[in-house]
Amino acid sequence: MTQDLGGKSIARLSVLLQSGALDPRELTGWTLERIGGHEDRAIFTRVVPERAMREADASARRLAAGRPLSLLDGIPVAWKDLFALSGLPTTAGSVVLKDAPAAEGDAAVVTALGHAGMISVGRVNMSEFAFSGLGINPHYGTPRNPCATDVDRLPGGSSSGSGVVVAADLVPVSIGTDTGGSIRIPAAFNGIVGYKATRGRYSMRGVFPLAKSLDSLGPLCRTVQDAVWVDAAMRGLPAPEIRRGNIEGLSIVVPTTIVFDDAEDGVVTAFEAAIVRLQRAGAHVRRQPFPTFERIFEAMSKHGPLVTAEAYALHRERLDGPQAAGMDQRVVARARLGQKISLSDYIATSELRAALIDEIAFSVGPNEIIAFPTVAHVAPPTAPLLTDDALFVETNAKTLRNTLIGNFLDWCGVSIPCGIGDAGMPVGLLLSAQPHHDAHLLSVALAAEAIVRAD
């Protein structure tokens, strides 16, 4: 290896690749070597070196001929263990699917990034069946948060491996899914950027679901610019079309309902300092209550969560059969709660959801950005949560609390590191926008990132 490739964003790697200063085979070999030599064996569930080097060879030929497929040609990418990779079973973080039929083809977004020239290096770990915001997996191990300096701390879930693999400097981007916070939580816990798109922005073909009415996709990466580039490729665009917005005159709304309840002092301090920096840069900030948020949690308490109802419907035969014994028993217990959710309860919640999405549109302008802490606490120590079921349930609920609001309201969101909280762990600031305002959100995030980040 003739150069240090550590810590580089997609954009910086692209400059090296497109200029000929770096060969895709060199970058892919370095990436595979880093993965193979990393001490945390719980990050990946499957590495595909043969595929990666085959794709790197093709990329090298294109770049040498001056015919790159895109700015992303030759960039490595890892996939959450929900995305179909041709010739492999999709295991969804579970051992009960290890003998499932191999996928006949790649997931649609895997194909899309392949058409942009990206190099698939493997699949990364996750909470089993994506049903937890903490990232604990009793089958493949729990990836260790690389930001922790005292004890092993949670990676965040369910896209645990996707957060850790970027923070540990093994790949520059990993694609995750988000049903209640599963992209934004790992991004916040690991001090990276995580973008959850509006549901439906990308094809879900070939992605193992959790709750189809809530599931969305997005990248976890080092910078907002990286997220913008990957977003374009996931939509089949030859180049990104989103441009940097302006902070001067931007209207930011900070909710005063629920999202700060029981928040750690360090999280609040880091968040408020970032808000002050945005104000100094010209943003207008107002704070207001959101009774809509309270109605979301009231509906969940009365009728049961949508995610639980849909997860039970998806896994009903598995939960009632012998496979349940081979699953994470916490996942089994939580999914079985869906059996108690009646059809009338599900319909009532779905109808309320549609009404609240319309209602919130009158509280927040179409070009306004909503900002609050991604998670009310930093990544907790892992060990106590492995044995204490009550603590697990309590921590999981608190971890998911802020982000699930965006899923229920179908918002898009970007978590950006905004400082350091307790135990020297990262804090995330979540910028959100109304459904299908992804371009505006990403444009604002491009402009806000340098101001929000305290590093």
Average pLDDT over residues 286-300: 97
- pLDDT at position 211 is 98
DSSP 416-451: EEEEE-GGG-EEEEEEEE-TT-HHHHHHHHHHHHHH
- Catalytic-labelled residue, pool 8, 70, 80, 160: 80
Residue 132 near residue 396 (C-beta atoms within 8 A): yes
Per-residue pLDDT band for 329 (boundaries 50, 70, 90) equals very high
- At 183 the pLDDT is 98
Average pLDDT over residues 366-394: 97
Segments in 235-373 forming alpha helices (H): 265-280, 291-303, 306-320, 329-336, 343-360
- 340 given a catalytic annotation: no
Dihedral sign for Cα atoms in the order 168, 170, 173, 175: negative
Residues 6+ apart with CB under 8 A from 330: 132, 389, 392
pLDDT tier, 308 (very low <50, low <70, confident <90, very high otherwise): very high
Catalytic residue among 182, 213, 216, 443: 182
Q: What is the b/e burial string over 316-344, where b = at least 16 CB atoms within 10 angstroms of the residue's CB?
A: eebbeeebbeebbebbbebbbebeebeee
Label residue 74 exposed, middle or buried (CB < 10 Å: 0-12, 13-18, 19+).
buried
Residue 455 pLDDT > 80: no
What the block records as the tokens of 50 is 């043969």
Tokens of 356: 């609240």
- pLDDT above 70: residue 206: yes
The predicted structure's pLDDT at residue 1: 47
pLDDT of residue 59: 98
Which 8-state DSSP code applies to residue 130?
G
If we measure between CA atoms, which residue out of 405, 399, 114, 73 comes closest to residue 262?
399
Let me know if 111 is exposed, middle or buried by CB neighbors in 10 A (0-12, 13-18, 19+). middle
For residue 308, give the DSSP letter. Answer: H
Angle between helices 10-19 and 24-37 in degrees, nearest 10: 140
The pLDDT of residue 366 is: 83
Average pLDDT over the chain, rounded to an integer: 97
Q: Is 342 a catalytic residue?
A: no
Which pLDDT value is given to residue 2? 52
At a CB cut-off of 8 Å and minimum separation 6, what does 304 contact? 337, 338, 340, 341, 345, 346, 349
* Chain segment 146-184, per-residue pLDDT in tens: 999 999 999 999 999 999 999 999 999 999 999 999 999
Residue 21 in this model has a pLDDT that exceeds 70? yes
Instruction: Single out the catalytic residue among 14, 94, 120, 158.
Output: 158
Mean pLDDT computed over 90-95: 98
Closest CA to 314 of 80, 130, 105: 130
Tell me the pLDDT tens digit for each residue of 95-128. Answer: 999 999 999 999 999 999 999 999 999 999 999 9
Q: Measure CA 313 to chain center.
A: 24
pTM of the model: 0.97
Mean pLDDT, residues 341-363: 96
Classify burial at 287, counting beta carbons within 10 Å of its beta carbon; exposed 0-12, middle 13-18, buried 19 or more: exposed
Q: Tell me which of 218-227, 230-239, 359-368 is least confident.
A: 359-368
Pairing of strands 251-255, 173-178: unpaired
Q: Answer yes or no: is pLDDT of 3 > 90.
A: no
Q: Cα dist. 452→187, 276, 353, 416, 418 in Å?
A: 15, 9, 31, 7, 5
